[in-house]
Amino acid sequence: MAEARLRVEAAGPHVSFQDAGRFGWMRYGVPASGPMDRVAHTAASLALGQPAGATAVEVSMGGLTLSCRAGVVSVAVCGGGFQCDHDGTRLEGWSVMRLDAGQTLTVRAGGWGSWCYLAVAGEIVCDRWLGHSATHAASGLGGGRIAAGQEIVVTDARVCEDREGALPAPRPLASPLRLAAVAGPQEALFESGALDLFTGEMFEVSPAFDRMGLRLEGPRLATQDALSIPSEPLLRGAVQVAGDGVASVLLADHQTTGGYPKIATLLSTETDRLAQARPGDRLRFELVEPDEAVRRVRKALSERRALLDEIAVPRGTFSQRLLSSNLISGVTNGEPGAG
């Protein structure tokens, strides 16, 4: 079996192994964890013909540098506007490239986005917990955090020449980023006017942003003596408000229960976009009714599927692509009046 060994030369904070997440354990205090941006994570694996939930490396804005010490393997880099330096050649993210022994790859934050995924054509060897490599940052359970000096071993390493090159990339986040949510479940415990502030005013992502969630800067959302509701289940996307009136949005490593009131909960497809925001980015919230939320998510998932299907299709080897472009240009040139 072909093996590739990738040495971690440098890794920012919060760089970790993540598969799609461990679902079904919230009743035991275990959030799904998994990627902060599930679309980019899935794209990276599909771009290599890997299964959608395969283990990949989640790269934070701190970046990652790998050097290939042995073997050869194709890798895909997808997420935000992250960029790559592939052995001296600068590439945009959202591309597939081959990493030969002796070559170095740096993934670094670009014009936008907070998280990026590096998937490999093969299988990453790492720890699992409850059957998954998704890393829960606070406990380190799962594949674990990645640090300089460690080696990432890839088994069944393959090269997929027919997949190399640029992938369709998403557009940068709009500013302000508009996010849809359903009110509650405790909107009734806020002072009157709090919901109007929530939907009418601008919020900003604060620097307090990690895998558990992000704190917002913006208007204070005052609660009516609601700081001691019995602890209840929490979900990714919950907008909870602490005693100081400051709102936070829970993300991949959220606590599974808590006692702060929630003014709203984001639609499931919105949390991936929010996770790509950066401190200082502006946000606006919109409230929709639950049935409208289901309709919107179904539509968003169908659009997501179309993007991922496009990314999953091999673009052909270099010679195949050369041949097809010759054929096309040949036909075009042959048409009367063309050129």
- Residues near other proteins, by CB under 8 A: 23-30, 130-131, 136, 138-139, 141, 181-182, 184-185, 230-233, 235, 237, 255-258, 265-268, 290-291, 293-294, 296-298, 301
Calculate the CA dihedral of residues 258, 262, 267, 268 and round it to 10 degrees: -10
Shortest Å, Cβ 267 to other proteins: 5
For residue 239, give Cα distances in angstroms to 100, 133, 156, 304.
Answer: 45, 27, 42, 24
State the residue for tokens 């991922």. 308
**Of 173 and 181, which CB lies nearer to other proteins in the complex structure?**
181
**Of 6 and 300, which CB lies nearer to other proteins in the complex structure?**
300
The SS3 of residue 56 is strand
Q: Name the DSSP letter for residue 103.
A: -
**Of 93 and 184, which CB lies nearer to other proteins in the complex structure?**
184
**Of 84 and 250, which CB lies nearer to other proteins in the complex structure?**
250
The β-bridge partners of 124 are 154
- Residue 95 half-sphere exposure toward CB, CA atoms < 13 A: 19
**Of 159 and 267, which CB lies nearer to other proteins in the complex structure?**
267
Calculate the CA dihedral of residues 6, 7, 10, 15 and round it to 10 degrees: 50
Shortest Å, Cβ 242 to other proteins: 15
The answer to whether 4 and 122 have CB atoms below 8 angstroms apart is yes
Shortest Å, Cβ 129 to other proteins: 9
